[in-house]
Amino acid sequence: MSLLKEPDFGTPARPGEATVELTIDGVSVAVPPGTSVMRAAKQAGLDIPKLCATDSLEAFGSCRLCIVEIDGARGTPASCTTPVAPGMVVRTQNEKLGKLRRGVMELYISDHPLDCLTCSANGDCELQDMAGVTGLREVRYGSGVEAGANHMSAPTDDSNPYFSFEESKCIACSRCVRACDEVQGTLALTIEGRGFDSRVAAGAGVSFMDSDCVSCGACVQACPTATLQEKSVIELGMPTRSVITTCAYCGVGCSFKAELRGDELVRMVPYKDGGANEGHSCVKGRFAFGYASHPDRVMEPMVRDSIADEWRKVSWDEAIGFTARRLREIQAEHGPGSIGAITSSRTTNEEVYAVQKMVRAVFGNNNVDTCARVCHSPTGYGLKQTFGESAGTQDFSSVEEADVILVIGANPTDGHPVFASRMKKRLRQGAKLIVVDPRRIDLVRSPHIEAQHHLQLAPGTNVAVVNAFAHVVVTEGLVDRPFVEERCEDFEQWEHFISGPEHSPEAVEAATGVPAEEMRAAARLYATGGNGAIYYGLGVTEHSQGSTTVMGMANLAMATGNIGRRGVGVNPLRGQNNVQGSCDMGSFPHELPGYRHVSDDGARDVYEQLWGTPILNEPGLRIPNMFDAAIDGSFRALFVQGEDIAQSDPNIQHVHAALAALDLVVVQDLFENETAKFAHVLLPGTSFLEKDGTFTNAERRINRVRPVMAPMTGKQEWEIICEISQAMGYPMHYDSASQIMDEIAITTPTFAGVSFDHLDKVGSVQWPCNLEAPNGTPIMHSEEFTRGKGRFMETMYVPTTERSTRKYPLILTTGRILSQYNVGAQTRRTANVAWHPEDILELHPHDAEVRGIENDDMVALSSRVGRTTLRAVLSERMPVGVCYTTFHHPVTGANVITTDNSDWATNCPEYKVTAVQVDLVVEPSAAKEEPATVAVGN
């Protein structure tokens, strides 16, 4: 598939029926009310010249190239700012219009370098195109210096690692400024000065790098000239072909055009028709793809008998044979349940499906788990219990109809930036915002956005706050009774439970630290403010009561009738690109693909018939259980697909002890990661640019991942799984990834209508996709819940056992930032390190002062399980008593600190609450483990 330039309609589409009929250059066209004449003309197949207009931005009307004549109207109005009217007769081309346009072009060109042949945008420059379209043959004023005053000597800003701002080529069309405002919502850019002195500026007299710019690339994409240009295009030249694929970073799952010259990737450009992102991007997806060709990549299989040995590079046959032989030997000695696997949310649905099939059909057990265990497993549990389906309820565009947005434990501007831009757009339009977060995240107050309520709760008290909301709803008569009576069950029991005085805002004020009246006001706003939409992240799930909070939010949405239509819902913001998919594909040890329990005879029978082998009807080990079982000796071998559990999982000392106790660790990854230090086999993986398959994002959208290039290692990852299975004696074979999806479709009811052909035809679908919904289901539970009636669940608040003490008086919470991604394996190998070269500890100035800590001091961070050092930054974003860090850099080892406390229902780690002490240190040191704490068998 090759597509470099999508059609540009000049101005955004308007909703509604095409009821306005008009005639443009003799062509009749009907469009929705509010549509611009420019867009109507494009829909009629007529291109009107333009420079300042593009359909991702509202009309601006500054360039005057798009002028038209309209019968009955005076002068020559701009077609971009003129809305259509019934019966309107428009002319876009005649001698007068042509002359006016050429006059405009002469002025532009007189102050623009005429270096087209050597310009990096040659062939992709709208100014160049318009010179041709308008028939410009001369510039009466001359060009550059000879034309008089000009901007030719304006300096170039190369401060951003990914793009250049060559001001001398700027035509001051404001597209970049408007893109930053309207699309990204950061408002970092401005037009400085007036008249001839007008110039684009990133903040007040600072470079792009030093400004508020978040490097999303929207300005670069909007620029019609070479003024804002990717450095990769400047260095490598204009791409010549394009492959539409899906980003491999967060759970937004943006669609991109991977643009190449030959086999060399030049740039990633967000795809306008991508359902998740609709043409927008962030700094990671847009620019941070260099890791895929980083010299650190492992390109050949390696094995060793002991982790004390050096690696031996071997052939694929030897690596696969070694792996298969050792797995069978270990099973023969220690039993069929002594081995297992961990799947990754960074691999495709097809790759995950192959691994869980290998575990169930070849290993003969259910010891398969996925990295969602440590992020969103409570989402799967909580939503399944209440709604009957382990997935979010909405599509992303639903937020455009939300009136009240409740953000709990999520930091979308950093973690899910492209969705955050959609959300911010809606907030700028007037939707109300409630933020529930210990930190004052950017959303609380940013340009043109201010939360009506920021409930700065104590970490670990989510359930108390959500219950208090529900208490207010029930006791103040705010329940949507008709919805509850028609759609839900177990309400009366729950109503009695939640009405209890122990759940009132006043009762939980002391524990949560949130003023009761603020909780009441926020709850009333959510319940009565129109469409109420809940968005949440790992600040909900990574707690000892993560599943309880998810169920509490579901209760709240059902009680207020905020479920089953656009603008409402309960929406998990998934951490990694394929968290949803890896869970869908049966990589939980108690669930087959499609979230069917392994004890379900009917579901098991489907696979037993197809795979020709029995499947165990008892759950297998979860990841933390695997570690415990490794230490007790009953679990001896682990296959790890694309995850760095030795860095990302909590209480690293315990994880390291478990990995060291295993007889065989097989790691399949792009890099020799921290887990590989404990591995006996290292199987090189493929980057997303080489994969062929699908990812499923946080809105259940199944997107194609198309190979931009052949696998650098010679094999797709699912092929390796098949070969290991074959070497273990089970005939697993597929000709292609699409065959795997076909098998998924015939065995998984929610995927019954999914195929690569269908996805190629319609772009993407949101499951359930089947006979009833051949093009997918953007909004779930619209007529009835998946389980029939929505079920209210009792959600008792039980404080975590992790408490601050005299020895560890602060609470540490962890998270991630915009420029880095999880353990940093990808982003640390890109220029994104310019923004975040090390993990830092944010703490409140008061907590710093009493410890004698100043900005940039190195501090020791210690908990009851470990200690590390990192740099401190004082920040009033933090409440007193709470500090925060990221886990992007292995040298810091933030998870040396975190404990093995976990969600009671799913064992998702309690990353967000760790009692710690912070002390000033003089000399930095690497992460320091305290093995003595490991010997407790936890």
Partner 1 sequence: MSATLLPPQVRLANEIARQFAHRPPADAATAIANHIRAVWDPRMKKALLEAVDAGNEDLDPVAALAAEQLRPAAQ
Closer to partner 1 by Cβ: residue 179 or 458: 458
Instruction: Find the binder of partner 1 among 298, 629, 848, 870 (CB under 8 A).
Output: 629
Helix, strand, or coil here: 524?
A: helix
Kindly state the smallest distance separating residue 851's Cβ from partner 1, in Å: 22
Kindly state the smallest distance separating residue 621's Cβ from partner 1, in Å: 5
Give CA–CA dist 405/119, Å, rounded. 46
By CB under 8 A, residue 928 contacts partner 1: no
By CB under 8 A, residue 618 contacts partner 1: yes
Give CA–CA dist 226/228, Å, rounded. 6
Candidate ranges 275-283, 356-364, 622-630, 675-683; the one touching partner 1 (CB under 8 A)? 622-630
Kindly state the smallest distance separating residue 790's Cβ from partner 1, in Å: 20
Candidate ranges 305-313, 472-480, 625-633, 745-753; the one touching partner 1 (CB under 8 A)? 625-633
Residue 321 near residue 681, CB atoms below 8 Å: no
Rg (CA), the chain: 29
Query: How many CA atoms lie within 13 Å of 779's alpha carbon, on the beta-carbon side?
Result: 16
Kindly state the smallest distance separating residue 366's Cβ from partner 1, in Å: 8
Closer to partner 1 by Cβ: residue 330 or 410: 330
Kindly state the smallest distance separating residue 433's Cβ from partner 1, in Å: 31
Kindly state the smallest distance separating residue 781's Cβ from partner 1, in Å: 23
Nearest alpha-carbon partner for 274 in 242, 246, 233: 246
User: Encoding tokens for residue 115?
Assistant: 């270096």
Q: Per DSSP, what are the bridge partners of residue 684?
A: 669
Q: Alpha helices, DSSP H only, in 368-416?
A: 377-386, 412-415
Closer to partner 1 by Cβ: residue 9 or 588: 588
Closer to partner 1 by Cβ: residue 99 or 496: 496
Nearest alpha-carbon partner for 186 in 21, 402, 413: 413
Closer to partner 1 by Cβ: residue 224 or 340: 340
Instruction: Find the binder of partner 1 among 299, 332, 796, 880 (CB under 8 A).
Output: 796
Q: In degrees to the nearest 10, what's the CA dihedral of 97, 101, 102, 106?
A: 160
Lay out the site mask for partner 1 across 585-614 (x = CB under 8 A, - = otherwise).
Answer: ----xx------x-x---------------
Closer to partner 1 by Cβ: residue 483 or 904: 904
Closer to partner 1 by Cβ: residue 106 or 900: 900
Kindly state the smallest distance separating residue 805's Cβ from partner 1, in Å: 8
Helix, strand, or coil here: 209?
A: coil
By CB under 8 A, residue 782 contacts partner 1: no
User: Encoding tokens for residue 323?
Assistant: 């792996």
Place of tokens 């501090």: 859
Please give the full DSSP string across 62-118, using - where no structure is assigned.
-S--SB-EETT--S--BTTTPBP-TT-EEE---HHHHHHHHHHHHHHHHTS---GGG
By CB under 8 A, residue 864 contacts partner 1: yes
By CB under 8 A, residue 304 contacts partner 1: no
Number of Cβ within a 10 Å radius of residue 723: 20
What is the DSSP secondary structure assignment for residue 217, as one 8-state letter? S
Closer to partner 1 by Cβ: residue 281 or 901: 901
By CB under 8 A, residue 787 contacts partner 1: no
Closer to partner 1 by Cβ: residue 108 or 808: 808
Give CA–CA dist 135/145, Å, rounded. 24
Angle at 888 between CA 884 and CA 889, to 5 degrees: 105
Q: How many residues contact partner 1, by CB under 8 A? A: 38
Please give the span between the terminal C-alpha atoms of the chain, in angstroms, as a whole number: 52
What is the DSSP secondary structure assignment for residue 138, as one 8-state letter? -
By CB under 8 A, residue 625 contacts partner 1: yes
Give CA–CA dist 704/636, Å, rounded. 36
By CB under 8 A, residue 628 contacts partner 1: yes
Closer to partner 1 by Cβ: residue 599 or 609: 599
Give CA–CA dist 431/449, Å, rounded. 10
Candidate ranges 207-215, 287-295, 624-632, 920-928; the one touching partner 1 (CB under 8 A)? 624-632
Closer to partner 1 by Cβ: residue 198 or 938: 938
Residue 125 near residue 119, CB atoms below 8 Å: yes
Instruction: Find the binder of partner 1 among 412, 620, 684, 815 (CB under 8 A).
Output: 620
By CB under 8 A, residue 802 contacts partner 1: yes
Give burial (CB, 10 Å; 0-12/13-18/19+) of 293: middle
By CB under 8 A, residue 619 contacts partner 1: yes
By CB under 8 A, residue 781 contacts partner 1: no
**Which residues from 519-558 bind partner 1, rule CB under 8 A?**
544-545, 548
By CB under 8 A, residue 801 contacts partner 1: yes
Kindly state the smallest distance separating residue 915's Cβ from partner 1, in Å: 8
Closer to partner 1 by Cβ: residue 413 or 899: 899
Closer to partner 1 by Cβ: residue 504 or 875: 504
Kindly state the smallest distance separating residue 618's Cβ from partner 1, in Å: 5
State the amino acid at position 25 in one-letter form: D
**Which residues from 250-279 bind partner 1, rule CB under 8 A?**
none
Who's near 500: CB < 8 A, 6+ residues apart?
471
User: Encoding tokens for residue 610?
Assistant: 């197809």
Helix or strand run (H / E) with residue 865 = none
Lay out the site mask for partner 1 across 365-384 (x = CB under 8 A, - = otherwise).
Answer: -xx-----------------
Residue 183 near residue 56, CB atoms below 8 Å: yes
By CB under 8 A, residue 811 contacts partner 1: no
Give CA–CA dist 285/247, Å, rounded. 6
Kindly state the smallest distance separating residue 489's Cβ from partner 1, in Å: 17
What is the Cα 124 distance to its own chain's centre?
29
Closer to partner 1 by Cβ: residue 576 or 902: 902
Lay out the site mask for partner 1 across 738-777 (x = CB under 8 A, - = otherwise).
Answer: ----------------------------------------
By CB under 8 A, residue 634 contacts partner 1: yes
Give CA–CA dist 899/890, Å, rounded. 17
Three-class HEC string of 462-492: HHHHHHHHHHHHHHCCCCCHHHHHHHEECHH
CA–CA distances in Å: residue 203 to residues 158, 214, 403, 422, 787: 16, 12, 31, 23, 52
Q: Per DSSP, what are the bridge partners of residue 591?
A: 588, 597
Q: Alpha helices, DSSP H only, in 662-796?
A: 717-727, 737-747, 756-762
Lay out the site mask for partner 1 across 883-922 (x = CB under 8 A, - = otherwise).
Answer: ----------------xxxx-xxxx---------------
Closer to partner 1 by Cβ: residue 345 or 366: 366
Lay out the site mask for partner 1 across 153-182 (x = CB under 8 A, - = otherwise).
Answer: ------------------------------
Candidate ranges 477-485, 527-535, 616-624, 662-670; the one touching partner 1 (CB under 8 A)? 616-624
Residue 655 near residue 627, CB atoms below 8 Å: yes
By CB under 8 A, residue 938 contacts partner 1: yes
Instruction: Find the binder of partner 1 among 510, 798, 850, 926 (CB under 8 A).
Output: 798
Please give the full DSSP string across 333-356, using - where no structure is assigned.
HH-GGGEEEEE-TTS-HHHHHHHH
Kindly state the smallest distance separating residue 663's Cβ from partner 1, in Å: 17
Closer to partner 1 by Cβ: residue 717 or 900: 900
Residue 345 near residue 371, CB atoms below 8 Å: yes
- Name the residues that contact partner 1, by CB under 8 A: 337, 366-367, 544-545, 548, 589-590, 597, 599, 618-622, 625, 628-629, 634, 796, 798, 801-802, 805, 864-865, 899-902, 904-907, 933, 936-938
